[in-house]
Chain A
Amino acid sequence: QVQLQESGPGLVKPSETLTLTCTVSGGSLSTYYWNWIRQSPGKGLEWIGYIYYTGNTKYNPSLKSRVTISVDTSKNQFSLSLTSVTAADTAKYYCARRQWFGELSAFEIWGRGTMVTVSS
């Protein structure tokens, strides 16, 4: 079955760029929408954005100016880049796959998440 695994640094300094990678195993990136979601005590669960396997992206308007999601189909990975981080970006970051219905569907498969702390 398809599994997702997040990876990246657990500590990022303020004003720097947070970069995370999600590795997909047990299936390919094709025909699905691949998402980043974060969870913090203060803001709860927050959708960050998605990338389709073709490279099309859509971002949460609240983060759009700082977010880039990219895909590497040869490695079966997709990545998140969040620039100019502050303490408010401290959260557990999850990658997740939408259902086969497409862009407007629920999140059916999740990674276990990776905690990122923004601190000097």
Chain B
Amino acid sequence: DIVLTQSPDSLAVSLGERATINCKSSQSVLFNSNNKNYLAWYQQKPGQPPKLLIYWASTRESGVPDRFSGSGSGTDFTLTISSLQAEDVAVYYCQHYYNTPLFGGGTKVEIK
């Protein structure tokens, strides 16, 4: 089974600064037939369900601010918040949907 390892577990970033979250997969989630990475990123605020931010590793979901971006391919992926806002405080999860869906352990983002 594919295992997703997120790092760091938590990070504190000043308002307006960049936040970077990493997600490493134990196996490639790149589907060679269509050259797509079957990886998504979600944001979860307290008391709310996860919200889809990014899919295909780098495609932003409709309505998601452009300060959120996803990158990477194969086994190594990154979610970047280019300029942290107060409303971005949340836990962020990566998830692969290559076969049996699996989520990473989450990264908690706070304000420094």
Chain A residues within CB distance 8 Å of chain B: 44-47, 60-61, 94, 96, 99, 104-108, 110-113
B5 to chain A, nearest CB (A): 12
Chain A residues whose CB sits within 8 angstroms of the CB of B93 once the complex forms: 44-45
> Which of A61, A110, A112 has a CB less than 8 Å from the CB of B100?
A61
Asked if A106 and B49 make an inter-chain contact with CB atoms under 8 angstroms apart, the answer reads no
Determine the residue in chain B with the shortest Cβ distance to A50: B101
> Which of A106, A111, A113 has a CB less than 8 Å from the CB of B40?
A106
Asked if B100 and A60 make an inter-chain contact with CB atoms under 8 angstroms apart, the answer reads yes
Task: Determine the main DSSP class of B at the interface with A.
Answer: loop
Determine the residue in chain A with the shortest Cβ distance to B98: A104
Interface window among B71-79, B81-89, B102-110: B102-110
**B48 contacts A by Cβ under 8 Å:** yes
Asked if A105 and B48 make an inter-chain contact with CB atoms under 8 angstroms apart, the answer reads no
Given contacts A104-B38, A105-B97, A112-B49, 18 further A-B contacts (CB under 8 A): A44-B93, A44-B103, A44-B105, A45-B50, A45-B106, A47-B100, A47-B102, A47-B103, A60-B100, A96-B49, A104-B99, A106-B55, A106-B97, A107-B42, A107-B52, A108-B61, A110-B49, A111-B49
